[in-house]
Structure 1
Amino acid sequence: MRKTIATLTAVLFIGSATTVFAQASETQKNECLLASKNCTNQVDDIYKRMQRLDREIKKGKRVYSPEELKQLQQKLTETQELLRDMERPGK
């Protein structure tokens, strides 16, 4: 009986810890987009990169500082300009 209670208690603690970890990782800054850190296995096409940048910008001040938001917006603008340059005929 004690082993069962101890096992159930351990499962509850582990379950609640993983839920908290999942929530923390969702609200974390995207270091790959922001500073090219933690970019393992992340190869995006230009459209996905623009979507990811836009999604991160929409998180706003609850996740990013004003300087970081400015940096993300600048990267989005650069990516959009790159796409426009690629779409121009004659290049």
Structure 2
Amino acid sequence: MTRLAMTLSTAAFLLAGSAAYAQQQSQKDECMLASRNCTDQVDDIYRRMHRLDKEIRKGTRAYSPEELRKLQVKLTETQELLKTLERPGK
């Protein structure tokens, strides 16, 4: 009986941990999507491009096609901003 209880508690522990890990991995970055929950995040332009690319790579397992399109637009806008800032004399 003790062995069965130990096996069941171990299985429950492992399942709970794996479910929490899966939820954490598929969590959306609301700050990247719609500037929500961003009060403590200030990125430079390179870090912003890296974070956007990282979120886009999560694909449909974390984002809807519409959200992925929004992220791609933001990445393109950020890349254009960087090009504008890097132009000499303007």
**TM-score, normalized by length of structure 2?**
0.76
Q: Which residue of 2 aligns with 1:90?
A: 89
Query: Distance in 2 between the 1:50 and 1:33 partners?
Result: 10
Q: Which residue of 2 aligns with 1:81?
A: 80
Over the aligned positions, Cα root-mean-square deviation in angstroms equals 2.3
Q: Which runs of 4+ in 1 moved over 3 A?
A: 13-23
Moved more, 23-32 or 73-82: 23-32
Query: Distance in 1 between the 2:23 and 2:36 partners?
Result: 18
Q: Secondary structure at the match of 1:53?
A: helix
**Which residue type is aligned with residue 28 of structure 1?**
Q
Q: Secondary structure at the match of 2:68?
A: helix
Moved more, 32-41 or 43-52: 32-41
Kindly state the Cα deviation for residue 39 of structure 1 after the two structures are TM-superposed. Answer: 1.0
Kindly state the Cα deviation for residue 40 of structure 1 after the two structures are TM-superposed. Answer: 2.8
Q: Which residue of 1 aligns with 2:62?
A: 63
Query: Distance in 2 between the 1:38 and 1:59 partners?
Result: 20
Segments of 5+ residues of structure 1 without an aligned counterpart are 1-8
CA deviation profile, 1:58-87 (whole Å, cap 9, x unmatched): 111111111111000000000000000000
How many percent of aligned residue pairs carry the same amino acid?
A: 61
Kindly state the Cα deviation for residue 22 of structure 1 after the two structures are TM-superposed. Answer: 4.6
Instruction: Answer yes or no: is 1:39 the counterpart of 2:65.
Output: no
1:22/1:41 CA distance change after superposition, 3 Å = farther
Query: Distance in 2 between the 1:44 and 1:56 partners?
Result: 15
**Which residue type is aligned with residue 52 of structure 1?**
R
CA deviation profile, 1:25-84 (whole Å, cap 9, x unmatched): 232111000011111311000000000000000111111111111000000000000000
**TM-score, normalized by length of structure 1?**
0.76
